[in-house]
């Protein structure tokens, strides 16, 4: 059962939603439907049998009985009673339901799908929902410079190199991605277009020079690695798959005991070192050769700070 906790939880919720409609089913059928072994089915349902409503007395727990290869489920009337939800709770519940229905084996026509349809109808057209992002202090400054075609000299902290330096840039577009604001600009030091996180811009002053803003739409993604960007092979321990969300993974291979071997483009050694440190014990870089010892060196540097 070498699956991250979030994957197991979504799968268990999908099983419970399906069982709530069926009432009972053979463990072999559940295992085949959700891509599990029968032992895994029993183990997961034993966890669910400990769940219920406060005060978590026996009469408030889910009733799940596994006997002679058959599962009988009674989730109780309390869990079926209609609830009054705030808008925030409604949107959160709808997003969670969508995630559960995406689990292989989930019933697309079951009670969960029906409840989701009713909930989304009550929430209204979700395309009209607006999300406000936090505005970094210099967002208005770089946006105005892009509109005016004014060259800027910025003080910028580069996370990939873990250093702050000055750059002369010609602002092109300001855009958001994954909840953050970015400035797309031609960097004179790099000689090409770069994307700068606006919250890492520490100063922005006009140089007096003018720039030509290119046509076209603003970028939709931050990191688009080119052929010159090195690709590292990294082994992550079980439970660290969440670190890969949003990364441009070139390839992924599941290994023994829940480990994951991935190939990822490397924008800078400091970035790769932080990735390995966040992944925790067991994470390592397997290639290219010049990056193999990066994780151990970063861990040693952190340890030295506490001595």
The 3-state secondary structure of 191-244 reads CEEEEEEHHHEEEEEEEEEECCCCCCCCCCCCCCCCCCCCEEEEEECCCCHHHH
Question: Which H or E element spans position 200?
Answer: none
Q: Which of 44, 49, 71 is nearest to 60 (CA)?
A: 49
Please state, in angstroms and rounded to a whole number, the distance separating the CA atoms of residues 64 and 49. 6
Name the DSSP class of 289: G
Query: Do residues 169 and 150 make contact, with C-beta atoms less than 8 angstroms apart?
Result: no
| Same topology between domain 139-210 and domain 231-305 | no
Model confidence at 178, pLDDT cuts 50, 70, 90, reads: low
Q: What is the pLDDT of residue 223?
A: 56
* Domain boundaries defined on the chain: 5-127, 139-210, 231-305
**Average pLDDT for the chain:** 77
Q: Quick: pLDDT tens for 200-237.
A: 899 999 999 988 777 666 665 555 555 566 788 888 88
Average of per-residue pLDDT across 266-290: 79
Name the DSSP class of 250: S
Q: What is the pLDDT of residue 263?
A: 87
Average of per-residue pLDDT across 193-198: 84
3-state secondary structure of 180: strand
Query: Do residues 261 and 255 make contact, with C-beta atoms less than 8 angstroms apart?
Result: yes
Q: What is the pLDDT of residue 210?
A: 87
Q: Quick: pLDDT tens for 230-270.
A: 788 888 887 777 777 666 778 888 888 788 888 888 767 77
Q: Quick: pLDDT tens for 12-27.
A: 888 888 887 788 899 9
Q: Would the pLDDT of 51 be above 90?
A: no
Tokens describing residue 220 = 């939709």
Tokens describing residue 83 = 């609830």
Query: Do residues 45 and 64 make contact, with C-beta atoms less than 8 angstroms apart?
Result: yes
Query: Do residues 242 and 210 make contact, with C-beta atoms less than 8 angstroms apart?
Result: no
The CATH T-level fold of domain 231-305 is Alpha-Beta Plaits (3.30.70)
Q: What is the CA radius of gyration of the chain?
A: 25
CATH placement of domain 139-210? 2.30.30
Q: What is the pLDDT of residue 153?
A: 94
Average of per-residue pLDDT across 156-164: 74
Give the Å distances, CA to CA, from 237 to 214, 243, 277: 44, 11, 11
Query: Do residues 115 and 97 make contact, with C-beta atoms less than 8 angstroms apart?
Result: yes
Whether residue 253 is preceded by a cis peptide bond, meaning omega within 30 degrees of 0, is: no
Contacts of 290 (CB under 8 A, 6+ apart): none
Percent of the chain's residues with pLDDT above 90 = 8
Q: What is the pLDDT of residue 113?
A: 80
Average of per-residue pLDDT across 103-131: 69
Q: At what angle do helices 87-101 and 111-123 cross, to 10 degrees?
A: 140
Query: Do residues 36 and 29 make contact, with C-beta atoms less than 8 angstroms apart?
Result: no
Please state, in angstroms and rounded to a whole number, the distance separating the CA atoms of residues 108 and 220. 31
Q: What is the pLDDT of residue 92?
A: 76
Beta strand 70-74 with 63-67 is antiparallel
Q: Would the pLDDT of 2 be above 60?
A: no
């Amino acid at each position: 059962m070498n699956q991250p906790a979030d994957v197991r939880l979504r799968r268990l919720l999908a099983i419970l939603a399906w069982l709530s409609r069926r009432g009972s089913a053979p463990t072999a059928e559940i295992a085949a439907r959700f891509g599990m072994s029968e032992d895994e089915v029993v183990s997961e349902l034993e966890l669910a049998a400990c769940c219920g409503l406060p005060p978590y007395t026996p009469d408030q727990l889910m009733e799940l009985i596994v006997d002679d290869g058959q599962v009988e489920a009674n989730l109780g009337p309390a869990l079926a009673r209609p609830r009054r939800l705030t808008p925030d709770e409604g949107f959160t519940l709808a997003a969670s339901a969508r995630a559960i229905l995406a689990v292989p084996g989930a019933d697309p026509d079951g009670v969960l799908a029906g409840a989701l349809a009713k909930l989304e109808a009550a929430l209204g057209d979700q395309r009209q929902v607006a999300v406000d992002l936090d505005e970094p202090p210099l967002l208005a400054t770089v946006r105005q410079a892009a509109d005016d075609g004014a060259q800027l000299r910025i003080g910028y902290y580069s996370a990939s190199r873990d250093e702050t330096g000055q750059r002369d840039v010609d602002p092109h577009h300001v855009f958001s991605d994954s909840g953050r604001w970015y400035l797309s600009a031609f960097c004179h030091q790099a000689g090409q277009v770069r994307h700068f996180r606006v919250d890492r811009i520490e100063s922005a002053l006009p140089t007096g020079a003018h720039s030509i803003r290119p046509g076209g739409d603003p970028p939709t993604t931050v990191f688009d690695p080119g052929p010159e960007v090195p690709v590292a092979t990294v082994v992550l321990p079980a439970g660290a798959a969440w670190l890969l969300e949003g990364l441009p993974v070139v390839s992924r291979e599941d290994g023994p005991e829940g480990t994951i071997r991935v190939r990822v483009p490397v924008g800078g050694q400091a970035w790769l070192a932080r990735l390995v440190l966040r992944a925790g014990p067991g994470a390592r870089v397997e290639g290219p050769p010049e990056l193999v010892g990066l994780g151990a060196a970063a861990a040693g540097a952190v340890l030295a700070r506490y001595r």
